[in-house]
A and B are shown apart, each in its own frame.
Chain A
Amino acid sequence: MKIVSYAIAAGLAVASFTTTASAADITGAGATFPFPIYAKWAEAYNKETSNRLNYQSIGSSGGIRQIRAKTVDFGATDAPLKGEELQKDGFVQFPAVMGGVVAVYNVQGVSAGQLKLTGEVLADIFNGKISKWNDAKIAQANQGVTLPNASITPVYRSDGSGTTSVFTTYLSQVSETWKSGPGVGASVQWPVGQGGKGNEGVAALVKQVPNSIGYVEYAYAKQNSIPFAQLQNKNGKFVSPEAKTFQAAAANADWKSAPGYGISLTNQAGDEAWPITAPTFILVPKNPEKPEQVAEALKFFDWSFKNGDKMAVELDYVPLPAQLKDQVRATWKSEIKNASGQPVFTQ
């Protein structure tokens, strides 16, 4: 009896807490790479329109699975789907924002920005071939920095991750041993180290475990004040991750060269280019079963394109160039249609 009345009371409490039914609820899931900026956009969007975006950052592979299973309105992934996959699943893919992956570390006596790494050294660290911080190969690029005689703990993603995809794409481009070893993928066979869940998990582990090194999207390093390394880019220059270097990498992107805008921006030429830059993508069904929900999701991204640039730059993401945004909107209008052939996005 008591239990039943408590249940009723709880139900009433919930009903009284929820806002009016006219506010839309959008659900999305996927990449942890853009989560900080999506969360900021969602907060601002909610303030202005009282529509809610519930984004579960469960990793790119999780996002792909959820949108395939139709359990969310849109999926988010850093690893773009190929043309055939897009055809098969009936998705439309478009970029939302760009960012950079950085190598974060926690080494006694080496402060933020002091550590310089080349692509090959980075690959060898994660491959297990370089196992101590004061190894000659690391010291070579870091004259004047005292590196401790300690074992390196690499930290990688334990879940299927677009960030891993981007990172391993870069490692394969700069290291033959990596290419023929673990290779490229959202989830690879890491020879050494331990796994953390999501960009958040890796950031948290690196912060906590001494003498560790991991890879995270730049916003995670910045927001949590974790030291990150300079990397040597294709032109041989050591650059620091920041909006300027990300933009330099994205400057010569040919967005039409892959279906669904699915290009890669790693290891781009340019003196100022950050070597591990990447766009992150959104997946929506071409002919959605719930067109109103997808319409709301597209409205959110449209709003973010119009109003979210400043917030993106604050977190050191790179907003899409205006021309690209128009192209994306045209794609929405021409490709996402409801059951009666009308475009879902009508702005």
Chain B
Amino acid sequence: MDTALQHRTATEPTTAPAPWGRVRRSRHVADRALKIICTLFTILGAFFLGWILLMLIVEGIGGLSPAVFTETTPGPGSQGGGIANAIVGSLILTVLGIVVATPVGVLAGTYLAEYGKSSKLAEVIRFVNDILLAAPSILIGLFVYMLMVQPMGGYSGWAGGVALAIIAVPVIVRTTEDMLRLVPGSLREAGAALGAPMSTVIIKISWKAARAGMVTGVLLATARIAGETAPLLFTALNNNFWFNPNLMGGVANLPVMIYQFALSPYENWRELAWAGALIITMSILALSIVARLLLRKDKVR
């Protein structure tokens, strides 16, 4: 063995070894290429996000002013005006959607994690939930149109809220179930050992333990539905003034307003559209970041 090694080193040229060691050059090139490409792609992804945010800030900041938050949408080409009705409308529709979706989502997630577990029904419902999670939101808008707008004879905030709720429920169901699954079984057994019925165990122990995660789910769902446009196109439509307190007739909302104003030729409308776009994107991004911060605290990885 020694002689072979000595023999080899004696016959090899005495130049310094290549920087990549005794690895074949092509392997090193391929490795380098991979690293560079992957880094480049990641930079590209971050670049797109930065570009979009930059665009929003540059175009939207100019339109921001206190009037934007206090005045209603102006006529085309008129001076002044704001998007207060759209902002309030969006808030109401989002809150409505979440208020409807949270009980349903939490209870359904609870069923899947605590009662159903791995039963056939639970498997089917999990499957269906995953489908709903990724279903095109425009189809949900069509469904609610047939379900509520046609029978009720008009666009309404209620239909819009229900459409948003249908989009939010699968998100809440998933996170609730995932978070409840993370709660150790020993906690539940301790509660049961003390004589508590299932509902008490769930409410006072499982929910309490998974609280942060469930709140995160609700926040993520809120972030998701706050920016949805397609389902509102056929349900709440839009309104140029303050809408009815009973939410019948069109309800102003940011996404549809942005859609209408951005594609219009009127300068004041386009400015308002950009301002609205900036507001809605920043709100959703802030919500997402907060949700992820909460989630990371909870994650058992």
Q: In the docked arrangement, what's the CA distance between A279 and B69, Å?
A: 38
Least distance between A198 CB and chain B CB atoms (Å) = 8
- Determine, out of B73-81, B115-123, B179-187, B275-283, the stretch whose residues face the partner at the interface: B73-81
Contact of B242 among A3, A6, A18 (CB under 8 A): A18
Q: Which chain A positions have C-beta within 8 A of B264?
A: 198, 200-201, 203-204
CB closest residue in chain B, given A40? B75
Contact of A17 among B149, B218, B242, B249 (CB under 8 A): B242
Contact (A14, B250) CB under 8 Å given A42-B75, A224-B266: no
Q: Which chain A positions have C-beta within 8 A of B102?
A: 3
Least distance between A293 CB and chain B CB atoms (Å) = 11
Q: Which chain A positions have C-beta within 8 A of B91?
A: 10
Contact of B241 with A54 in the complex, beta carbons under 8 Å: yes
CB closest residue in chain B, given A225? B265
Q: Which chain B positions have C-beta within 8 A of A36?
A: 76-77
Q: In the docked arrangement, what's the CA distance between A220 and B96, Å?
A: 37
Contact of B237 with A3 in the complex, beta carbons under 8 Å: no
Interface size on A, residues (CB 8 A): 41
Contact (A56, B242) CB under 8 Å given A200-B265, A204-B264: no
Contact (A197, B98) CB under 8 Å given A10-B92, A42-B75: no
Question: Does any Cβ of A come within 8 Å of B263's Cβ?
Answer: yes
Question: Does any Cβ of A come within 8 Å of B238's Cβ?
Answer: yes
Within 8 A of B (CB), among A16-59: 17-19, 25, 27, 35-36, 39-40, 42-43, 46, 52, 54-56
Contact of A10 with B265 in the complex, beta carbons under 8 Å: no
Least distance between A135 CB and chain B CB atoms (Å) = 27
Q: Which chain B positions have C-beta within 8 A of A116?
A: none
Contact of B250 with A56 in the complex, beta carbons under 8 Å: yes
Q: In the docked arrangement, what's the CA distance between A244 and B78, Å?
A: 25
Q: Which chain B positions have C-beta within 8 A of A204?
A: 263-265
Question: Does any Cβ of B come within 8 Å of A334's Cβ?
Answer: no
Within 8 A of A (CB), among B164-217: none
Contact of B98 with A3 in the complex, beta carbons under 8 Å: yes
Closest 10 CB pairs of A and B: A200-B264, A203-B265, A39-B75, A224-B265, A71-B154, A204-B265, A7-B95, A201-B263, A52-B241, A43-B75
- Give 12 A-B contacts (CB < 8 Å), ordered by A residue: A3-B99, A7-B95, A7-B96, A11-B92, A18-B242, A25-B244, A35-B76, A39-B76, A69-B153, A200-B260, A223-B76, A223-B266
